[in-house]
Structure formats: C-alpha cells, structure tokens
Structure 1
Amino acid sequence: MPAPALTHSPGFKAATLHDVAREAGVSLITASRALSNPTLVSDKTIERVQKAVEATGYIPNLLAGGLKSRRSLMVAGLVPTISVAQFLPTVQSLTEALDADGYQLILGQTGYNRSREDALLNTMISRRPDGIVVTGLVHSQAARERLRRLGIPIVETWDLSDRPIDMLVGFSHLKVGSAVAGYFLGKGWHRLGIATGDDHRGSLRREGFLATVGHEVPTAVVPAPSNLALGRRALAELLQQDPKLEAVYCSSDQLAQGVLVEAQARGLRVPEDLAVCGFGDADFAAHLQPSLTTVHVDGAAIGRLAARLIVARCRGEPIAERVIDVGFRIVERQSTGGGASQA
C-alpha cells in the first residue's frame, strides 16, 4: 500500500526562531547570533542551538536576511536546455564553484526562444539575484539595457563579443566554423556538407565555415536542440543535395551521432566514404564506433570562471579581465581518419 501524501493539518505552523530559543533555553538574540554570527557565542551554545534547530525543524528565512543585507545569496543561470550534453559541465562546475562561496544557482531554460528568454530574465530579476549567468549573448536590446541598470554582476558565456553587458567567458563560434572548414580542406576534401541546428550559435559556426570554404555548400538545417533522429534526417537531406559528399560538419555531437548511424544504415564507410566532425566533445564522442572527431570546448572552465567573476564582483573586488576567451581545439578521432587511441 503506497505511503500517504505528506500534508499539513489546518493548524500547522512552521517553527520560528522563538521556538528554537525556547527549546535551547537561550534568549532570542543569542539564538539569532548562534545561527547568523556564531563567532559571538560559545561552542557550547552553538551546539545547543543546532540541536534545537533539529528538534523543532526550524528553517531560517533567507529572504528576510537577504532584505536586511541586500543579498539573496542566489545566482540566476539561463541555459537553452539542460538536455544538451555540451552545457552540462558548465552547469555542474558553476553550481559547485558558487556553492563553495555560499551561493546557490537557480536554473532556467530558455528553449532557444528569444521571447521566452526575455520573460525568464524578467522573472529571475524579480527574485533579486546577486548575479546572473547567461548561456550565449542576450540579444534583446531592451533586456540588455535593463540588465545594465540592475547594477549586479552579469556574465554572458559560450559566445564572444567585445561589447558584453558586463562580463563574458566564451569563445568565437565564427572561428570554430572556420577552423573545421580549414581542417577539412587540409585533408583534401572539397565536397563538403553542413548539418546544423537553427540556433544563433550554430548559424555563426556555419557562417565561419562558409567564409573559409569560399562558397555555399549543401546544408541541412534542423530545429534546436538537435538529436540522433534529426542527424539521420539531416544526412538523408544532404545526400539528396550531393550524393558524393566527402565530409560533413555537424553543429553538435548529438547531430553527428545521427549522421554516423544513417551513414552506416546506407552502407557508407566512415571515414573512407564519408568523414564526420561534430561539436562539443560530449562524453560519448570518444566511445562511438567509429569514435567521433569533434570540437572540444572546456565547458567546466567556463562555469568556474563565470562563478569567479560573479563572486569577485559581489565582494567589490576589481575585475582585471572582463572578457575571457577560453578558446577551443579540434580533437581528431576515427570519423575523420584519426587514431583509435585519441580521446
């Protein structure tokens, strides 16, 4: 028989600091100091108050404390979606780094939708966060101006601009696309294709790719976030445009995985008949068969650096470098002829 749902009776009342003080046998001010400024009371008193907190189930009202100190100890984070593997290391390291300094990350998903991004930013701002970390650049001029007027630290990530709202940790997507195109051309491949999501950053990488190639190439555009099924669909579309394709660049590793599956289903050998390169260096990329050549970005470093900038600004410390370019590198594996041991 399933356990009954937990509910509060009509007379339920949350424990207060008065209850804690009464349980511990101390004054209200002593209980408050033991929880908020323990250096002012003895270790024995702290122990008594902590036991009283456990006995009463008291939960400190952080909002009330935040109103007094004008600090919420909360940082708002916006990501397109947590289902995209490339963003997970950033979210994890950002969460851990902020937590180490006493801040909690509140996460929101924009879904690659700019109007939703604006609405979510407004909701986050209304909660009075101590800082905001955004994946990508904020494109709405109205939102950018509002964020500037807030006077709190803002870090845009996973992109590059010489005019950030406040601070930025990222890299150039134009350069990524250009580097992959140069890599393909250096291999002697000229019948090239692009499978890309319809998001802004994917479009920038396509732009950089085409600028280096010097002409249009067969392109399949799929909705972001991309996945294996969309990758299969993308390759089918590309092969309709050019049945003799030599190499395909994909805007994500998930998309590239689908391209590999579709190529194998059609009897195409990778990389002998078709070379494939992804983006993001997801944890599965090195373990596919064949292993996937991809573009590696240190997402964990982006999270750590963003947290460091937020905390430093909250402490009133000077920021020596407002724009940090973490760069990227192409990791060559079997899908473009690299060695099996490269991971």
Structure 2
Amino acid sequence: MAAKLQDVAQLAGVSPATVSRYLNKQNVVAIETGKRIRAAIEELGYIPNLMAGGLASSKSRLIAVQIPFLSNSIFEVTIEAMVAELEAADMNVILGLTGPGDERSDRFMRAALSRKVDAIIITGEVGRETQALLRSSNTTVLQIWDTPPDPIDLVVGINHYRIGEEIARFLARRGYQRPHIAVATGARSAMRRDGFAAAWKMLSSIPVTETLIEIPSHFAHARRIFAEIRRLPQPPDAIVCGSDLLATGLLVEAQTAGVRVPDEIAIVGFGNSTIASEMRPTITSIDIDGALLAREAIRMIRQRVAGETIANPQIDIGFRLIARESA
C-alpha cells in the first residue's frame, strides 16, 4: 500500500504535524529533524497529497501554462525562461498545448481550476464562458503576449496594434510604396495587420495588399504567398510577414526566383528568432524580450502567491524594430 503521512512521521520519530510543516515550508523545521523526515520520505517512497488532510490549506505549487503551439513558436524562449524560474521557486508546471480555437483551451482551463493550481498563465485566446469562470475563481490568471482591453486579471504583454503602426512608418521612411501583408488568421496577427493598414492609410494613398494563411503558419506557406504576389497586377516592393519563419521562406523563394532582396523586394519578419540574424541577407524583424516578459510574469505570480499587493497589474514591456539587410 502507498505510504501515508503518519508512516513518515513514525519512521522519522516526529509528529504528523511536524511532517506537514516540513512539506509546507522546510526552513521552519530544525535541520536535523528535516534530514530525518527527508530520509523517511525517500525510504518509504512517500508522495504528499497537497490537497488533503493537514495540507489542505497549503498552496498546490502548481502553475498551469496554456500555449497554442510549441513547434516553430515565438513563445518558446518565454516558456523555457518561465519554466526555469518557476522550478527555481519550487513550483511545478502543467503545460497545455491547446491548438487553435477555444474548445481545447477551455477544457484545459477547467481542468487546471479543478486541480486547484496557484496560477494559470495564458498565451492564447479564451472563450467568453471560460473568461467568466476564471474571473469568478480565486485563482491568479496571467495573460501574456497581449495587452487585452478587458483583462481577466494580470497582464504582461505587448501592444500588437502599435507594432503594425511602427512597421508601416518604418517602411514609409525607407521609401517603400507598395507593401504586402502576409500573416496568419490569429488575433495577434490581425491586430498587427490592422495597425499597419491604419498607419499606412495615413501615409500613402496606395492600398495595402495581403495574403492570409491558416494557423499555425509553416515554412511551406511561403511558396504559396510568393506565388500569389507574383500574380498581382502591381508587384509589391515590401512584404510584412507574421513571423520570421515566413520571412525566411519568402527570402528563399525570392532568391530561387532571382528576385533581389532588398533591391527589388524588402522583407520584414516578426519575433527576432536566431535565424533572422543568421540568414543572408539578414532579416529585419520585431524583437520581443521573452526573457524580460518571463521575469515580470514570475514576479507577479510570486507577489500574488505571497499575498502582496501588485502595484501595476497590467505591464506593457514594449518592443524593438531591428533594421537589418532585408529591408
């Protein structure tokens, strides 16, 4: 049979309450006592049930992280940094890969709430019913990568609409006249597209052309996008991509077709991935400090778990446009 807390206490020669205190916060127990308890736990193979008995009032030390996709994801650096920080703080991570849409995401949120996690970190979209459920719960909810107008709880993100505006102004300053937008159909891409279109309308009378692709975007999408661009009556002189992956694919397609970058067509990516600075020509991109985002997110969670007041519950970490050879 599985070992119980009482078994650990008996083997260590202490009371069950002392074992509970050790499991909740090890530094409140004498060092030698802690060593005996740890040895008993290891000998018996005891796994504490943090939601039962004397530990019912303790924190679960579980953090749920929702992410739509992991492969070719701009969230990769942020997620890795957050997991490392959380593990260093003696917290465990439940990672939910939910894909596009609300259904799987909503199921993951409900599962996380049922397990009494200390916090839920959200990188994707959440349905209205689940938003209401999260708001009515006592669980800390942290939305990252966005600055939503009506946040559920805490926010550490960036303004994607402003990113689109900045790219439009950048291209106009560089003298480009016929931009083409190539983005996926996600909410963040739509905000950048809208910001770009609105800013470009103020800068030029030439309309913006666009190609929309399904989520998640793949390297192979670049071939379809480039083919569409070549069929346009007036070819663009700049392509604004929803990711560095697309930008890299389009750069390869242009070079294969003998189209010079940036002399004949400029390319702008998003995410400032490693490959953006290693391609030839190097790719102009938008840089988001994923490590900073992770640190701010963990700081907020630690404050909330400790019962401290968070002075600024919505943080915009900003972005940088890094001009390289492709534009």
User: So what's the TM-score if we normalise by structure 1?
Assistant: 0.86
Q: How many aligned positions are there?
A: 323
The residue number in structure 1 matching 2:33 is 45
The residue number in structure 1 matching 2:326 is 335
Amino acid aligned to 2:40: A
Which of 64, 87, 93 is residue 52 of structure 2 equivalent to? 64
Which of 57, 63, 75 is residue 63 of structure 2 equivalent to? 75
The residue number in structure 1 matching 2:309 is 318
Distance 1:203 1:122 in 2: 27
Distance 2:8 2:55 in 1: 22
Q: Is the 8 A contact 1:137 1:156 kept in 2?
A: no
Distance 2:76 2:4 in 1: 38
Q: Which moved more, 1:218-227 or 1:66-75?
A: 66-75
Question: Secondary structure of 2:96's match?
Answer: strand
Residue deviations 1:7-39 (CA, integer Å, cap 9, x gap): xxxxxx333334434544555555555544555
Distance 1:240 1:286 in 2: 30
Distance 1:33 1:90 in 2: 34
Q: CA 1:33–1:175 in structure 2 vs 1: closer, same or farther (change >3 Å)?
A: closer
Q: Is the 8 A contact 2:66 2:97 kept in 1?
A: yes
Distance 1:141 1:37 in 2: 38
Residue deviations 1:299-332 (CA, integer Å, cap 9, x gap): 2212221221122122221111111111111111
Deviation at 1:54, TM superposition (A): 2.5
Distance 1:175 1:124 in 2: 33
The residue number in structure 1 matching 2:77 is 89
Distance 2:266 2:187 in 1: 25
Q: Is the 8 A contact 1:17 1:28 kept in 2?
A: yes
Q: Does 1:163 align with 2:163?
A: no
Distance 1:175 1:29 in 2: 55
Distance 1:36 1:171 in 2: 36
Deviation at 1:216, TM superposition (A): 3.7
Q: Does 1:229 align with 2:220?
A: yes
Aligned 1:100-249 pairs, distance under 5 A? 100-136=88-124, 138=126, 140-214=127-201, 216-242=207-233, 244-249=235-240
Q: Is the 8 A contact 1:118 1:143 kept in 2?
A: yes
Q: Which moved more, 1:250-259 or 1:151-160?
A: 151-160
Q: CA 1:39–1:70 in structure 2 vs 1: closer, same or farther (change >3 Å)?
A: closer
- In structure 2, the gaps of 5 or more residues are none
Amino acid aligned to 2:153: D
- In structure 1, the gaps of 5 or more residues are 1-12, 337-343
Q: CA 1:269–1:124 in structure 2 vs 1: closer, same or farther (change >3 Å)?
A: same
Residue deviations 1:256-285 (CA, integer Å, cap 9, x gap): 111111111111111112111100111221
Amino acid aligned to 2:103: S
Deviation at 1:184, TM superposition (A): 1.0
Amino acid aligned to 2:324: R
% identical aligned pairs: 38
Q: Is the 8 A contact 1:235 1:259 kept in 2?
A: yes
Q: Is the 8 A contact 1:232 1:261 kept in 2?
A: no
Question: Secondary structure of 2:321's match?
Answer: strand
Q: CA 1:326–1:66 in structure 2 vs 1: closer, same or farther (change >3 Å)?
A: farther
Q: CA 1:28–1:66 in structure 2 vs 1: closer, same or farther (change >3 Å)?
A: closer
Residue deviations 1:214-262 (CA, integer Å, cap 9, x gap): 1642211111111211122212222222563211000011111111111
Q: Is the 8 A contact 2:229 2:235 kept in 1?
A: no
Q: CA 1:27–1:158 in structure 2 vs 1: closer, same or farther (change >3 Å)?
A: closer
- Across the aligned residues of Structure 1 and Structure 2, the Cα RMSD in angstroms comes to 2.2
Deviation at 1:104, TM superposition (A): 1.9
Distance 2:223 2:54 in 1: 50
Amino acid aligned to 1:251: G
Q: Is the 8 A contact 2:61 2:90 kept in 1?
A: yes
Amino acid aligned to 1:166: D
The residue number in structure 1 matching 2:282 is 291
Amino acid aligned to 1:196: V
Distance 2:79 2:53 in 1: 27
Which of 248, 260, 269 is residue 251 of structure 2 equivalent to? 260
Q: Which moved more, 1:267-276 or 1:90-99?
A: 90-99
Question: Secondary structure of 2:143's match?
Answer: strand
Q: CA 1:95–1:206 in structure 2 vs 1: closer, same or farther (change >3 Å)?
A: same
Question: Secondary structure of 1:193's match?
Answer: strand
